[in-house]
Each structure stands twice: as structure tokens, then as C-alpha cells.
Amino acid sequence: MTDVLIIGGGIAGISAAAALSPHCDVTLLEAEDHLGYHATGRSAAVFLQDYGNTVVRALNMASLPSLQALTGVLSQKSFLLLGRPEERDDFLRDAAALGVSETSVDTARAMVPILNPGTCAYAAVRHDIWDLDTDLLLQTFLRAARDGGAILRTGVRVKKVARHKGRWQVSDGVRQFGADVLINAAGAWADAVAIQSGVAPVGLQPLRRSMARIAAPAGLDVNSWPMMDGVGDRWYAKPDAGALLVSPGDADPMPPQDAWADDMVLAEGLARYEEMVTTPVTRPLASWAGLRTFAPDQALVIGRDPTLPQFFWLAGQGGYGFQTCVAAAALTAALITGHTPDLDASCVAAVSPARFVT
């Protein structure tokens, strides 16, 4: 059996461990004391099938049936795009991209009574997006990985990666791990792991995205409210267990790190949301940020490195790591075990790291 070592215990690494463990000896190494500590633990937990470029959408759609088959992982929601009076052109562009249909502001206000008729000039809606129970999904993959025999190690920060007699030798400075194939699922650190492993980076860029949790406006029951999105991703909000998550939609380039929310960025984003509603924003109950890590063309990077095939990329999940995870993990397993991928060949080529070789 092929020995596979996965670096990174986020949704990417854990879903790959689940997909591979029936076929390979899998060990997953996570630097932090808890799995899912970085981007994976900080998401907005939404599945929006028309979010991302063409390749990302293909992965979304390929993941959807399996996610739907997992009881309780997806629950249907509505989605409202909202535009200000001066944003007509951008509103129409975003509406087309997100697959939403224009509706009246009155209809939108029937869904979200606090919308401000003075600033909400345009509204568009769709009723087929999903809330994603990220904890349940993660636990489902973890159970599958363990049932398949995968070994999951936390508190192991890979510091040295070397090749010896055709195998990988990986160490955190204390412990040694060997493998035939190394999977780089290190999120914001994936380029750094590649460099450590003697492989050229692909140009991944972590972008910070912040989030605040605020009390339900005016004590209203917000649970049935749709996800709301400001034109141009200038803010978005969604109900979250009786409260409201509001994001400034920020995308600030950052080095790989344990990201935190910048107070000013958060305040400006909350102000953009507040303009669109009739209730004042109260002091956040909590705030956080995470890094969404993108390849230069915003598609995921999945496949064997063209210069060193034993080095496998599973990176560049951007803002779509959950909604693409089933298809990304299945592709990883197919390419490593030598099976024909379910995805069509053009999609496999579009995510391959070979696309960065000039």
C-alpha cells in the first residue's frame, strides 16, 4: 500500500484523509493542537453553487450531491443581493454572476424587515443556497478517515522535509515520518511547504477575511432571514444561531499567520452594512478573521507537481474550501491511486499545478 503523508489538518487535509484511507496508509500531520484551527474554523459556512470561477463552480456542483446525501450537513436558505441607488450597473453584473433574479425592495423587506428603503434601491433573490454545518461535515470526514485506518496527529509542525532513497522523510525536529507521497494541504502555508520540500511555489496569496457576530437586530428572530450580500462584496450578513454574522468582505493580502480581525476594517464593514438597515449595529459579541488563500487564477491547485510527482498539491481553496471539498478530495484520491477521475479532463487540467509551468 502507498504511504501517504498529509501536511495540514484543515478541511482539505481531513477530507483527503477520508477519501484516501480505504486505499492507502494515511498519516495526517497538523501543526496546531486542534484540527481545523485556521481557515477551516473561521468560515461563513455557506454553499453557494455560483460562487467562484468556472472551475470552482464545476467543483461545487460535483460536491453537491454527496453533501446533500449527508443528513443535516446542508440546510436550504435564501440569498439576497442588495444594491444602493448608485450601484445599478454593478448590481446587474453581480446578479448575473450569482444567478439571482431581480425582485422588488418590498419583497426583500418582507424577508428582512429592517432593510432601509432609503438605501436599498435594488434587490435580487434566489432560494437555493445552503447553510453548511461545517462541524458536522468535519466530524463525518474524521470518522471516515479513522475508520479507514488513517492516523491523525496534532501538535506536529513539519520543519524539515527531505527525500531519501525515493521516499519522503519529514520531521518536526523531534519525530520522523516517512512516506511515498506527500500531500501539501497546508492552506496559507502551502507555498512555504513546497519550498521546504524543494518544489517551486505556485504563487499562492492568503487574503484576510474578517467576521463579526452581532446580536439579532432589535431582538428580532433572524433565523429565517436570507443571507444578504452587498454589491461588490462590500459586506455580507447571515443568520447564525439567533445572532447575525456580518463580514466587511475584506480581502487584504497577508503573509501566512494566525489571522485576527483589524478593528478599523471591521468597523468600516459594519458601517457599510448599517447603512442598508434601519437598526444600529451593537457592539460585536465576537469577531475573528481567517485567511482565504488563492492561486493567481483563483482556481484550486490539485495534482502531482510536474517536477516531482511524489509531491501532491491540494491548495488554493480560497473562499470555497468547504463547498468544493468532496470533489477536491475525490480527485486527490483518484490521482494518487491511479483511478480515472470523475471530473472531466478539462477540469482536471484546470486545477493541475502543471498549469503554472511556462
Q: What are the residues binding ligand FAD (CB under 6 A)?
A: 7-13, 29-32, 37-40, 42-46, 157-158, 185-189, 193, 209, 211, 290, 292, 317-323
Residue whose CB is less far from ligand FAD, 30 or 87 = 30
Residue whose CB is less far from ligand FAD, 193 or 202 = 193
Residue whose CB is less far from ligand FAD, 88 or 127 = 127
Residue whose CB is less far from ligand FAD, 38 or 84 = 38
CB of 190 to ligand FAD, least distance (A): 8
Residue whose CB is less far from ligand FAD, 187 or 226 = 187
Residue whose CB is less far from ligand FAD, 84 or 142 = 142
Phi, psi angles (nearest 5°) of residue 194: -60, -50
CB of 112 to ligand FAD, least distance (A): 19
CB of 39 to ligand FAD, least distance (A): 4
Picking from 129, 156, 146, 114, the residue whose alpha carbon sits closest to that of residue 279 is 114
**Cα separation of 94 and 100, whole Å?**
8
Residue whose CB is less far from ligand FAD, 84 or 238 = 238
CB of 28 to ligand FAD, least distance (A): 9
CB of 124 to ligand FAD, least distance (A): 19
CB of 35 to ligand FAD, least distance (A): 7
CB of 31 to ligand FAD, least distance (A): 4
